[in-house]
Amino acid sequence: MKRKAATAFMWYVIISIFLLTGCSSKEESSNAQNHLLGNTNGNIQDGGLVLINNGWIYYTNRDENEHLYKKRPDGSEKKQLVKGHYSYHLNFINGWIYYTSGIPGEVYKVREDGAKDTKIINKKVEHLIVTEQNIFYILAYDNDWGKLYRTDLDGKRKTLLAKSIVGFAIDNGWLYYSNREDNGSLYKMDLNGENITKLNNEYSTGINVESDYVYYSDFNDEHKLYKIKNDGTNKTLISHKAFGLDNLHNGYIYYANRTDGGRIYRMKTDGSENELIIDKKNCVSLNVVDDFLIYRIPESTGGYFKANLDGSNTERWAESF
């Protein structure tokens, strides 16, 4: 009798461990899937006008009513994907391009070949970031302005994550944001809106993340650039100058220097090796795509330019990007 009871208990333990392990594996897999972003935080912060996937560059064509186009990196095989409305905050996930119809704008998704262009969120939003499981966005609509929501990939199953924020970035399963209910202080939460943690007491704007550090400009300290570890420790001043962080990529900060006519500079993330890399004025919309930069000069005919990450080989990417 005792032997039967012991055997039954042993099987109970084995089955329990198996079930718990299976659940844990599914949860870890789910979290891993939600780590992939449809575009980079830096590109989205600068309007999300460009992204690259599987040998195609998808972009907002400024010369064609800001409609969605795609073409090869060498400028060939140009094709229009969307007509009738603008396209910003481009994200590519699982064969779909997600975008907003303005800044702010309603949220659409369309197949990579231009089929099935569908409105999925019927409210004005801004700062759209898409993962393999969810859409994250800030509402920009009357009294709901600043509310952070998460939905599924069809724009359904909406969940309110925060009531009033300015901007956010997603990295490695965490969402970092500027909390307007606490004077713009930097916070983080997991992608379910839980485990909320305050990281600083500064009004943090232009949030971006790389490795273990969060980068931001302090609105109340002349927009100086800082970084802080993602656990809230080791706050470090990077630049004493007023700063707008345009993009962050592989250990370098890229920015259009407003005090030097909008020319493009880069420096290392510790503030060293600050250098002019593109000697053209009034550069905006600085996006990093693979191993090159794409940027705009609004006064220039043709709009977009392309350059290597060190600023070399700057060229107009065909007559119209």
Residue 72 lies inside a defined structural domain of this protein: yes
State the Cα–Cα distance between residues 185 and 199, nearest whole angstrom: 8
Q: Is 278 within a domain? A: no
Q: Evaluate whether residue 79 is within a structural domain.
A: yes
In-domain check, residue 190: no
Length of the chain: 321
User: Residues 78, 320: contact at Cβ < 8 Å?
Assistant: no
**Which percentage of the chain shows pLDDT scores above 70?**
86
DSSP 8-class letter at 226: E
Say if residue 27's pLDDT is above 60: no
Predicted pLDDT of residue 29: 39
**Mode of pairing for the β-strands spanning 159-162 and 263-268:** unpaired
Region of residue 223 (left: phi > 0; alpha: psi -120 to 50; beta: else): left
Amino acid at 222: E
How many domains does the chain divide into? 1
Q: Are 174 and 190 in contact (CB under 8 A)?
A: yes
Which of these, 114, 188, 103, 109, lies nearest to 156 by C-alpha position? 109
Residue 306 lies in a domain: no
Return the HEC string of 266-311.
EEECCCCCCEEEECCCCCEEEEEECCEEEEECCCCCCCEEEEECCC
Domain that holds residue 95: 37-133
pTM for the full predicted model: 0.87
Q: Is residue 59 part of a domain?
A: yes
What average pLDDT score do residues 306-314 get? 94
For 117-144, write each residue's pLDDT tens digit. 999 999 999 999 999 999 999 999 888 8
